[in-house]
Structure formats: C-alpha cells, structure tokens
Structure 1
C-alpha cells in the first residue's frame, strides 16, 4: 500500500528529544540533512517513505505508530467546536486544523475545553432554571466528561494495566468459560476472600465487605457479569497501586474525576483479565470477529466482548481499528470510542439514519449496515440490543451496542461475507450529528446545521421545511 503524505513533525521531534539528540545528530543517524529534519519537525514538509523506514530501522519503532490516527479524534473534536456560530466569521481550512492538532495539541485541547464551558454556561443561562451561582458552577468540565476524554485521547488503551492483567491471566491459566472458577480460587488463596451468592432479592450486583472478606454476588446476575465482578475485585486488590499511580499522573481537577477514573481502570483491568490481549486478539482474527463465538469462548457478555475489541490498540500488535458505542433508548451515547475515522459528536444525538437505533426494534439480532459519512468514508456497521437482565417485575435497562470499521477492514468480519461492498448505492448516507452534518437533503434532519443559511419557501413544502444554502 502506498504511503500518503505524512506530516508528523511533533512525533519526530518527541522521538529525537527522547533520544537526547540534536537535530544535526538525529539527521545524520537517519541519513538526511539537518535542514530537512527541521522542516519535517515544523510540518513544512512531509516525511518520505525512505525516512519512515530509516526511523523504523534505527530506532526500532513501528511505522504504524508514527502514522497512527490519534490526531483524528482531536481533529474531529476541534472541528466540531469551531463549527459553533460563536465562530461564524472564522472558517478554518482542514490544513489549518491539522497544523494546530499536529503542532500544538495542547492548544487544541484548551480551546475544546473553553468551548465546552461556553456551551454549558450558555445552555444554563438560556434555561434559567437555577441561580446564577449554579450556572457559573457548570462552566467547568464535569468529572465524568473529564474521565471520558482521558480514555478518548489515550486511544482507550492503557498499556501498563493491560500488561499486568495479561500476566496474571497467564499465571492463572484462564480457560475462557471456566474463568470464574479460577478467579474465585485465586481470591480465596491469595487474599482469603470468600465468594458467596447473595439473597436473590438483593438490590446490588456485587458487594464486598473488607472486614469479613466476603464478596457477595447477586444470584440472578448472568454468569459473565458474576465473573466480571470477581475480576473487578481482583483489580482492586492486585493492581490497586498501579492504577492509583496512573490516575494520579492524569492530573484530574477533582476528587470525583479521580475516583471515576479509578473505577474505569478497575473495569479495564477486569476486562483484560477475562480476555487477555494476545489470546483475545488471536481468537478475534481466527473467528473473524464473530461476536457470539467470542462470547462463548471467553465466557463474557456481548457488551464485554465489543468493549474489549475497542481496546486492541497495543503498539506493534494492533487489532482492527473499530468504533464502539453504547446508546440508550433516548439516543444518549453512554459509552463511546473510535479508533477509526468515524468520531462521535460530543454534543447532540446520534444520526437517526444509523442502524443502532433499529436494534431496539429487533432484539436478539445483529443488524448490519453499509454506511457512508459526508466525507466519503464508508463503513461496515453492526448493531444489537443488550439487556442487563432482571425479572418480570424488575427494571431491565436496555441499550443498543454499535460496532464497526472502515470498509477496507470489512473482510476481517464474518458479517460482511454476503454484502455488496463494491456497490456504492448499497451504502446508506449517515452523518455524525445534525448540527454539524453537511448533507442538505436528508429527510431525517432534526435541526439545521450550524454556520449554514436557511431559505424558507412559503409556496413549497418538502420533508424539511427549509432549504439549506452555503
């Protein structure tokens, strides 16, 4: 595959500084002039294939890491922020946005944070439901959003935690569906924790009493949920110090964000323990990402499997770059990550033409969709409904899970076998969010796009009661 133009000056500069080399020394090692290296580091010239190969050979790095799409997430978030009418007199080009995200990512993050605060304050003042004190308090990023962004911008992969969980899984010789027995025995032997079944009427999934060292699990919880909760306690006891150190270095601004991130990393460790990286990646490739077979092999739930697939971003051993989201019936995205070009909107609901919404209408089925976004990128999208269980009279939270990849990776998925991937007409036109979608003739448009003029025609009525013009 031909390597396109890559402007990766910041990464090259960081690599040089990590090796404590001057520009002249570094340029000499990779066989180019110091002036060319200076232009590369300032994104004035792209790196050539020869330079990439020299970097890989001399510094033992993965070319894919240098050309990875980590900037896509930041570029998408910055583009959405600048689409706000607040910036109506400024429409940066794609090249300008790339220069900012590549050369000054800290500045891009700061601008996004300011825009988030502006939106929250504006919405609060518009509703006028609270006192001015309450309105001012909401201008800061919420702890939940701060943690969500932490995972988003590290590619949803935490290397140290993943390795630690994989090492323990190897020591315990976990065998997929039998993992609950091995995990229970480990808790009892290493930490003298006894696992018991709670009263069926208990109002919790898991409860741990440190004084008695008893872990109580809800008897009605599905087997994958019980195994995950045991793995979660192991994360707290066996990897607590490691996780606390990672969270401490993240620089969160509140105790709430600190604790939410701790909880998120405990969950991450639990998933990595049940589905160890290399064996899970191998199985995903062998089974061609058959979600139901993966759940059977690893004794995990479908949501756990989909979430784990979204974390396969280990340097030098990456899985298929996928997008993953969990959405409730109101359209709220409660979990999200994308290693693909598709990035989820930070504000507003998901596109109504996206097949994830159909999952609630057809429970128990994996729904397939070929979709194309306004930028011309095409995707294979999978969606299905999941339920957290419960009796007839109990509340049963239901979510739709979405998983997918760019069409160039569709052959890795068994679900693409009988689809007409070469027929462009087979692809549904979807967007990211109505407020930033560029499509002018979408019959499902909920709100007009930002920064676009509207013409209301009183003598003509179409599905959308206005015409969008540049």
Structure 2
C-alpha cells in the first residue's frame, strides 16, 4: 500500500523554530535543499519517506508526533460543524476534510468560527423572552471561548514561556529546596515584593498592591495553591514582555479576550515554573505517570499534574500524548485539551457513559475505564474528583472531576494499566463524544437523536429508544 501524502509544513516549521535553526541550517541537517524545505513548510509539497527517515534519525522524534496534533483537532472541529443540519445538502467525505485542514487550515478555522457564531445566535434566538428589547445578540465568540480555542489550536504549549520558566526554575533550585521559601525570598530579593497573610475575612486568593509592593495571600488555601499564586506573581512581574508578545499572536477581537489570554499565559508560566519541563517529564516516565506520586514529588495538586502532562508538547521532546479535562457537576467542561484522537465536543454535554461522571461518587479515588469511541480507537481513561479552595465549615468549596488518559497503544507507560485486560475487546466500554454527533444507534444512555440521521417511529414496537435511527 502506498504511503499517504503528508502535508505537515506547520509541524516541520515548529520543529525547526524550536531548534532555533534557519531554513538553510535545518535543510543541511536533513540533506535537502533550502527551496524544498521552504515548499514543505508552506505545504506546497508533501514530506517524502526519505525526509521522514532523516527527521527520525537526526532529531529522534516519534513519527506519530508528525502525523497527529493540530490537524486532528481541526479535523474534529470541522467535522462536528459540518454535521449541523444547516449543511444537510452537503456531506463531505473524510478525504475532502483532510484536504481542507491540511492545505487550507485558515479557511477551516474560519468555517468553524462561522459555525460557532451561527450556533450561538440560534441558541439565543430560541431562548429570547420579554427581555428581547433590552438584549443584544452576540454572534461572535465570547472572549473566554476565543481564548480557549487559542490554547487548543497551539497544542496547549507555549514554547517561549515554557523555556523561560524552566530556566528560572533551574536557577532557583526549586526541585531540591523548600519551594515556598525560595519563591518568597525571590520575590523580595529581585522584585522588592513582601509576602504577607491576607486579613481574616477577605474573600481573595491573592492581592498585589503595586504601590506598597505587598502581596497578600489567603492564609487558608492549600500549600499547592499558595505556591502557585507566588509563581503567578513572578510571571506577572518577570514574564510580562513575553506574555504580551504571545498574546498579540492571538489576534483577538476584543481587549477582554486579550486580557483573559494574559491570565492564561501567566498561569502557564506558573505551572511551567513549578513543574519544569525536562525534570517533570523525566519523573513522569520514571514513575510511569502515577499521578499521586508526581503530585507528592513536586508538591503539586492532581489537577496541576494532569494539566502539566497535557502541555508536554515541546518539538522533539514530546511526552506521552494525553487528554485532559475538568468537568463540573452539571457536565460543563471548564478545561480541556487533547493530544490524542479523542476530541471533546464543542457543543452539548459529554458522553454519559464516560467515567468522569462517576468520579463525583468516588471521592479521593482514581477510577479507571477502558473505553472505545465509534471510530474504533481505544483509550485508558482515568477520573477523580477534586475540591477547590479552602477555609472553614461555612466555606463554599467548588467541586470538579478531572478526566485524564491516553490511547491504549501508550497504556504501558501508565501504572494504572498493569492489571487490566487490554487484549479483551469486551473490557472496553463503548463511549462517544456527544450524543448529537455519536454514531451509535443502540446506546441505552442516548439523550438526543444524532444530527443529520433519519428517525423511524414504530408505534407498535418499543426498544431501548422510542425510535430507530436510519441512514443520513
């Protein structure tokens, strides 16, 4: 069988830029001309087998790193958009979608954004009431959604911030010393910032007074959150120039979106400072991704550990590709990223058969699930419940479930798979992405019929569903 053509110019460019090499230098290392490399990076020519072999030989990269990632995420988003009844007269095949996402990704992004605007407009029109005269329909993405998509499509990895944070972590010796003392002393010594306890009764996690150079921290939050707030303050004071530079690349429509992006970038720097890339990746491999041991070694929370594992996307040094999500009790996905083929639905609730929903009834435990999506891909899924914040008896404590996992081909890298029967197909639960786009016709948990599928109702027969699902 002939190898399918790979148009992966963006990834090749990202790899080269991560190595800080010019096109001429990079072309010399893999034995091709600069003009050929330029054509590859601009998706004017596919990558040949000889070039792939050279990339593996010279940079010790995994071929799967080149064939997955942004393209899969964009393909998933575009596929979901085109299942909308709005496009009922057009049903593209997989090859057409791949051609669009590989050769015209900007067009694909534009179509996804247009569909998002249409969905928001339709949903608001359907729910308008007597306040119609006082409300404005927002056809554009909310600032939060715009920023979420920004991180989603950069693979949840910000190279400049990651490297800057890792270098600072090395200088401070955070791996070996008391993190709280080191971070507090660094703020005082370098930035003239004094760290104090916030006054009792103040409903804040962190408050920085730029005039007095005093940073007040809530005295009752967990140590992991306290140290993260210290690292976040360092990010605001020390990485502001890099943050502004990265935020500008998002081309956000509003100042609100740009400001929210800066919050995300400050958080990214803080996570990368407390869990420096190479040290954390090495520990993850050594401990076989035991989340609780990683949390203990780095003095971090389970959420911080899972989130950081999802950002290990450095070109040439990628970690095991994982998915990560944070879900509230209502099923809203408040954080999400996937470097696997599993992509989270952009509209509608998550699949009710996914074990993340069970985590709220299993407080303090990491529960496991072997799952298979309709496309035949199998996963090791982990889930656990977490409680945010701190305080006394009367404090409100938000609760979430963390979902984390990998494709089954990587399960051997996880301690959680050791006693599971990965070879038995019956061990895998059938799950989907969202009912509205799930292809399974006999799911007993189906909430709504799939879009763009005909329904047949037989009043004399009742099965699991009150209807049967036909073809498109």
Q: Secondary structure at the residue paired with 1:400? A: strand
In structure 2, the partner of 1:30 is 32
Q: Does residue 355 of structure 2 align to residue 355 of structure 1?
A: yes
Q: Secondary structure at the residue paired with 2:52? A: helix
In structure 1, the partner of 2:428 is 427
Residue 199 of structure 1 deviates from its aligned partner by 3.0
Aligned equivalents of 2:398, 2:466: Cα separation in 1: 36
Structure 2: state its 5+ residue gaps: none
| 1:92-241 → structure 2 map (5 Å cutoff) | 92-129=92-129, 130-131=131-132, 134-136=135-137, 138-175=138-175, 178-241=178-241
CA root-mean-square deviation: 2.7
Contact kept, 8 Å, 1:287 with 1:293, in 2: the verdict is yes
In structure 1, the partner of 2:243 is 243
Contact kept, 8 Å, 2:442 with 2:464, in 1: the verdict is no
Instruction: Give the direction of change, closer, same or farther, for the CA distance of 1:188–1:375 in structure 2 (3 Å limit).
Output: same
Contact kept, 8 Å, 1:387 with 1:396, in 2: the verdict is yes
Q: Secondary structure at the residue paired with 1:317? A: coil
Instruction: Give the direction of change, closer, same or farther, for the CA distance of 1:457–1:392 in structure 2 (3 Å limit).
Output: farther
Q: Does residue 275 of structure 2 align to residue 275 of structure 1?
A: yes
1:133-175 deviations in whole A, cap 9, x for unaligned? 7443x10111101100100000000000000000100000113
Residue 214 of structure 1 deviates from its aligned partner by 1.1
Q: Secondary structure at the residue paired with 1:410? A: helix
In structure 2, the partner of 1:5 is 4
Aligned equivalents of 1:12, 1:202: Cα separation in 2: 47
In structure 1, the partner of 2:301 is 301
In structure 2, the partner of 1:410 is 411
Q: Secondary structure at the residue paired with 1:314? A: coil
| 1:38-49 → structure 2 map (5 Å cutoff) | 41=43, 47-49=47-49
Aligned equivalents of 1:29, 1:285: Cα separation in 2: 33
Residue 55 of structure 1 deviates from its aligned partner by 5.6
Stretch of structure 1 that moved more, 349-358 or 246-255: 246-255
1:345-390 deviations in whole A, cap 9, x for unaligned? 0000000000000000111000000000000000000000000134
| 1:347-386 → structure 2 map (5 Å cutoff) | 347-386=347-386
Instruction: Give the direction of change, closer, same or farther, for the CA distance of 1:176–1:150 in structure 2 (3 Å limit).
Output: farther
Q: Secondary structure at the residue paired with 1:230? A: helix
In structure 1, the partner of 2:440 is 439
In structure 2, the partner of 1:462 is 463
Count of residue correspondences: 457
Residue 464 of structure 1 deviates from its aligned partner by 1.5
In structure 1, the partner of 2:310 is 310
